[in-house]
Amino acid sequence: MGDTGSSADYQNSALDEFRVNWQRELQVQNEPAREQPNEVDEQQQSPLGLNDIEAQARAESLYRTAVDLEQRGKVYDALAYYRKATQIVPDIEFRFYEQQKLNYDANKKYHNLPNDFGKQLDLNHTDAKEDIDVDLIDGLYDKFQRDVACVDIYGGKMLLNSRDTSVISTSHNMHISDLPPEIMMNILRWVVSSQLDMHSLEQFAAVCKGCYIYGRDEELWRLACSKVWGHNVGTLEGLEDGLSYGSWRDMFIRRERVLFSGCYISKTTYLRMGENSFQDQFYRPLQLVEYYRYIRFLPDGKVLMMTSADEPAQGVNKLKQLYTSRPDVLRGRYRLFGNIVTLILQKSQSRPAFAQRHRRGSIMPGDEEANNTQYVIELRILNNSKRQFGQLAWTKYTLVQRRNKIESSSEFDLTAAKYPPLWFSPVKSYHLDADAPLA
Amino acid sequence: MAVIKLLTSDNVIIETEMDLIMCSGTIKGMLESCSGDDEIVPLPKVRSAILTKILQWAQFHRYEFADTTAEEEAENVCGVISPWDSDFINVDMSTLVELIEVANFLNIQRLLQLACKTAANMIAGKTSEDMRKILNIKNDLTFSEEAVMRKESK
C-alpha cells in the first residue's frame, strides 16, 4: 500500500512539474500573440514578430481597399491593390475570408444575405441585430446621414455613381452627384412642380441613401402643405383639428385633403317613364337613364366639374384641358376645412376674353357680374377600401342666383339615389410636364 | 461693339461680344468691379465646349434679356419649353449636369432653370429603378432599409 502510495506521489509530482513547465512554455509562445489586436491572429498559434503584425495589418487594409474598388467596378485599380497585398502576405485572400466568416457568424441575421457591398456597410454600422429594426424605423434619415458622411465610400458626395468612370474614358464626365445640394433641391422643386407630384418625390427618395435625405427635405413638404391648405395650413401642432404631426410630410400624408392625380366620379341611374306607344295602349316603355358626375381638383385651388352621359373612359378626357373652357365644364375654386371640401362653381362664361382676364388671382370669377349663377357644394372627405381620401360624400348643395342685385338661394335635396358619393379614380394622362417649380 | 476675351479651363481663349455675355451675373459683376479694358477673364471652372454652347444659347435669346426684371425672369421660366430650347437642351446626362453647374457658376438664371426643369422632367413620373438608370445612381440601400422605406411610404 505504502509503496504504491509513494509511487503515486512521485507520479503526481512529476506530472505537476511537467504541467508547470508546459504552461510556462505556452505562456512564452502566446506572449507576442497577445499584443495583436486582431482575433484572427490570436487564433494562429505560431508567434509573430511585431513587423509581421504590421505587415499583415497593412496587407489587410490594402486588400480591403481592393475589394471596395472592385465592387465599385474599378477592376484595374483594384488589381494593383490586390497585387500589393499578396506581395506582403501571400495567403491574404484566405485570411481575409476566414475573418469575414467570423464576422458573419457573429451576425447570423445577415448570414443568408448576398455578400453585397451595401450589406457589408450595414454590418459595420450596426452591432446588435435586435436594435436594427427599431433603429431604422426611428431614424433612417439620421442613419443615412451618418452613412453618407463616410468619406471612404462617398468621398464627400451624397450619391454614388453607378457607372465605372475608368472604363468610359472621355476626358470629362459629370455625374449628378457633382451638383451642390441647393441645385439638387431646385431640381426637386421642379420634379414636385406646382402640380404637387409627391409620388415622384417619394420614388426619388427610394433611389438611394443620399436621395432619401434630399427627398425628406422639410421645406419641400412644407411648401406642398401650404399649397394644399393655403391659409389654413396651420402648424405641425395642428391647433385647429387637435391633431399633431411629426413632420410636414406626415401632415401631407395624414391630414384630410383631396387627391390630384385623377378624378372623382359618381354614377347616377334613374328610371324614366316613356311615352305611351301609339299602337299599343298598354305598352309603357321604361327608360333607364345613366349619367356621370366628374370632379377634378387642381393643386392651385381650382376645380372642374362636369355632368355627362359619357362613360368614364371618355369623360375624364374632357377635364384634361385646364385653360380652354368648354361649355359643359363648370369651373371654380375649392377650399379645405377639416374633412370638408367646399366648392364654389360658376356657370361657364360665354365670353372667353372675360375668363382670360380673370384667370389669375380672382377668388370668385365674375363677381362683378350683375346676373350670375353659382353652385356651392360641400363634400365630406372619406377613405374607401382602395385608398385614403378616395371618396367624397355630399353634405350640401346650394344654388345661388343673383338677378338684378337680388340674391336667391335654393338647396338641392341630397337623396342618396340622385347624389351618390364620388369615388376617386387615378388618371394617368392628367400628368403634365412641370410648368412651374414648387414655390 | 466691345469685345471680351474669356479664358476657359482647357486654356482656350474665346472672344465674344460684351452684351452677349452680360446674361451671366457673375461676369457682369466681375467686369463692374475691375475697370481695365482688353483684359482676359479667366473661367477656371468652364470648359470651352460648354462655354461655346452657352454662348450659342445666349445668342438665340439675345434680345430677350434686355430690360427684364427679376420677377419677369421668374415668369419666363414657367410654361412650356420652346422648341428651340428643348432642342438645345437635348443632350446626354453628363452634359446636362455640366450645363447646370456652369449656369449656376456663371449665374445665368434662365439657363439654370431651363436645365433643372429638363432634368426634373426626365425623372418625374418614373419609378426608383428607372431613376437610377437615368441618373446613373448606385443603389446603396440594404434590404432591411428598403423594407422600412416601403413601410414608411404606405
| pLDDT of residue A126 exceeding 60 | no
Element (H, E) at A327: none
| Chain A residues near residue B101 by CB distance under 8 angstroms | 174, 178-179, 183
What tens digit of pLDDT does each residue of A136-145 get? 556 788 888 7
Complex prediction ipTM: 0.91
**B97/A175 CB distance under 8 A:** yes
- Secondary structure of residue A11 in the 3-state scheme: helix
CATH number of the domain where residue B108 is located? 3.30.710.10
- Please give, rounded to a whole number of angstroms, the shortest distance from the CA of A149 to a CA of chain B: 13
Tell whether B33 is covered by a domain: yes
pLDDT, residue A411, reads 86
Q: Does a structural domain hold residue B59?
A: yes
User: What pLDDT does residue B103 have?
Assistant: 93
Determine, yes or no, domain membership for A332.
Answer: yes
pLDDT tens digit string along A89-113?
777 777 776 666 665 555 444 444 4
The percentage of chain A sitting over the pLDDT mark of 90, rounded to a whole number, equals 18
pLDDT at residue A367 is higher than 70: no
For residue range A231-271, list pLDDT tens digits in order.
878 888 766 666 788 889 988 988 889 998 889 999 988 88
Average pLDDT value for residue range A282-309? 87
Mean pLDDT, residues A290-298 taken together: 92
Domain residues for the domain of B102 are 3-64+76-152
If contacts are CB pairs under 8 Å, which of residues 45-74 in chain B contact chain A? 47
- Domain for residue A73, yes or no? yes
Q: What is the pLDDT of residue B38?
A: 63
Interior/surface letters A386-398, b for 16+ CB within 10 angstroms, e for the rest: eebbbbbbbeebe
Rounded CA separation A213/A436 (Å) = 23
CB-CB: which of B78, B112, B142 is closest to A435? B78
Q: Cell match 465599385: residue?
A: A72
**Structure-block grid coordinates of residue A413:** 335635396
Q: Tell me the C-alpha distance between A439 and A187, whole Å.
A: 12
Rounded to the nearest integer, the mean pLDDT of chain A is: 75
Check A162 against B143: CB less than 8 A apart.
no
**Minimum CA–CA partner of A203 in chain B:** B128
pLDDT of residue A114: 44
| Winning range, highest mean pLDDT, from A123-137, A226-240, A300-314 | A300-314
**Which of B10, B75, B117 has the highest number of chain A CBs within 10 A, making it the mutation to test binding with A?**
B117
For chain B, how far is it from start to end, CA to CA, in angstroms?
A: 62
Last-in-domain residue among A54, A89, A106: A106
Q: Three-class SS of residue A346?
A: strand
Interface test with B, best of A190, A192, A432 (most B CBs within 10 A): A190
Tell me which of A66, A89, A106 is where a domain ends: A106
Q: Do A121 and B142 touch (CB under 8 A)?
A: yes
Is a pLDDT exceeding 90 seen at residue A379?
A: yes
| Predicted pLDDT of residue A319 | 85
Instruction: Place B67 in a pLDDT band, splitting at 50, 70 and 90.
Output: low
pLDDT at B102: 93
Cα-flanking dihedrals φ and ψ of residue A198, to 5°?
-70, -25
DSSP one-letter code for A348: P
Q: Is residue B70 part of a domain?
A: no
Residue A271 lies in a domain: yes
pLDDT of A348 above 90 = no
- A187 chain-B contacts, CB cut-off 8 A: 100, 116, 119-120
Please give the sequence-ordered ranges of beta strands (E in DSSP) within A124-174, or none if there are none. none
Cβ within 8 Å, pair A208-B125 = no
Q: Indicate if the pLDDT at residue B104 is higher than 90.
A: yes
What's the number of domains chain B is made of? 1
pLDDT for A310: 87
**pTM for the full model?**
0.67
The reported pLDDT for the residue numbered A352 is: 44
Note whether B144 contacts A122, CB cutoff 8 Å.
yes
Query: Does residue A125 have a pLDDT over 50?
Result: no
Partner B contacted by A360 (CB < 8 A): no
Side chain identity at residue A15, one-letter code: L
Condensed to tens digits (0 to 9), the pLDDT of residues A160-197 reads 777 665 555 455 678 888 899 999 999 999 999 888 88
Residue A378 confidence (pLDDT): 93
> Is A372 within a domain?
yes
CB A33 within 8 A of CB A44: yes
Across the interface, of B100, B127, B142, the residue whose CB is closest to A203 is B127
Chain A's closest residue to B101, CA to CA, is A179
Q: Write the Ramachandran bin of A117: left for phi over 0, alpha for psi from -120 to 50, otherwise beta.
A: alpha
What CA–CA distance (Å, rounded) separates B85 from B114? 8
> Is A436 an interface residue toward B (CB < 8 Å)?
yes
**Contact (CB, 8 A) for B103 and B85:** no
CB contact under 8 A, A208 and B135: no
What are the tens digits of pLDDT across the range A49-78?
566 777 777 887 888 888 777 777 677 777
Can you give the length of chain B in residues?
154
Establish if A129 touches chain B: CB-CB under 8 angstroms.
no
Amino acid at A232: N
| B98 falls within a domain | yes
Identify the pLDDT of residue A356: 45
What total number of domains does chain A contain? 2
pLDDT of residue A381: 92
Within-domain flag for B36 = yes
Of B101, B126, B137, which is closest to A208 when you measure between CB atoms?
A: B137
By CA distance, what is A435's nearest residue in B? Answer: B79
pLDDT in the model for residue B78: 65
In tens, the pLDDT along B39-51 reads 788 888 899 999 9
> A436: burial class by Cβ within 10 Å (0-12, 13-18, 19+)?
middle
Given this model, what pLDDT does residue A402 score?
Answer: 80
CB contact under 8 A, B149 and A204: no
The last residue of a domain, from among A90, A106, A122: A106
Cα–Cα dist A228/A256, whole Å: 10
Distance from CA of A303 to the nearest CA of B (A): 20
Let me know if residue B81 belongs to a domain.
yes
Q: Is residue B71 part of a domain?
A: no
Q: Which residues 94-133 of B are in CB contact (within 8 Å) with A?
A: 94-95, 97-98, 100-101, 104, 112-113, 116-117, 119-121, 123-128, 131-132
pLDDT value at residue A415: 83
Mean pLDDT score of chain B, rounded to an integer?
A: 84
For residue A289, give its domain range: 262-428
A92 assigned to some structural domain: yes
**Distance between B38 CA and the closest CA of chain A, angstroms:** 30
